[in-house]
Structure 1
């Protein structure tokens, strides 16, 4: 019996250091940002902001690990982890939150149960 071939992309999308993007990003997979994004990010997977990564806009995802900077709202349906080097200026809506000592967070936080969207399916507000 022949199997239908579906390529599996196990590699995350990556925005490298020194790269700056102005515009919205939508992905079904994971994404790692070590550069700069000015726009909204919608991911059905995990969004990782590296230590040198910067995002100015709204992030909507299933999970997120932040070591860099975010200026804007972040909506996480499962777990948001703010590492000690992170700086988040904006609002958080998440089901679960971890904050390491040294992380900077200015804004309001709503958590518990599921995040605003149990599974990100709509485009972020423009």
Structure 2
């Protein structure tokens, strides 16, 4: 059995972090990598990377380049690159991505469609 390699996120390299006490409702659009630690509902759109931290709650459809999930996502995820689901996460929604990595212990309730990088959108 092969080892699973997941991306470690260094918060010091991120320009934007939505803190645990942030509650955002609406369309969240951004250009640089972002980490969510609080609550977001609505939709999330970027051509960059999204990190959903442990304890975060995202009730939104997500469109991004790469998505790492350690918290809760209720919504569909579309990634032109990679989606990584960590053991601490729950995803209730469909995933459409070029690559999907799931750590043992993660909870994924939905369908998965594997695409080529250009086909993910």
State the TM-score bracket (shorter-chain normalisation): 0.7 to 0.9
CA distance in 1, matches of 2:106, 2:14: 28
Q: Which residue of 1 aligns with 2:109?
A: 106
Matched, 1:28 2:31: yes
CA distance in 1, matches of 2:82, 2:55: 21
Unaligned 5+ runs, structure 1: 1-9, 118-126
Give structure 1 regions of 4+ aligned residues with deviation exceeding 2 angstroms.
none
Cα deviation for residue 12 of structure 1 reads 2.8
Cα deviation 1:85-116 (Å, max 9, x = unaligned): 01000010000000000000001110131252
Greater helix share, structure number? 2
Given the two structures, how large is their TM-score scaled by the length of structure 1?
0.82
Given the two structures, how large is their TM-score scaled by the length of structure 2?
0.85
Greater strand share, structure number? 2
Give the number of aligned pairs.
108
Cα deviation for residue 44 of structure 1 reads 1.2
Which of 69, 74, 82 is 2:72 aligned to?
Answer: 69
Unaligned 5+ runs, structure 2: 1-12
Q: Which residue of 2 aligns with 1:48?
A: 51
Cα deviation 1:62-84 (Å, max 9, x = unaligned): 00110000000100000100000
CA distance in 2, matches of 1:12, 1:56: 23
Larger Rg: 1
Say whether the 8 Å CA contact 1:12–1:32 is kept in structure 2: no
Say whether the 8 Å CA contact 1:16–1:35 is kept in structure 2: yes
Q: Which residue of 1 aligns with 2:18?
A: 15
CA distance in 2, matches of 1:111, 1:54: 25
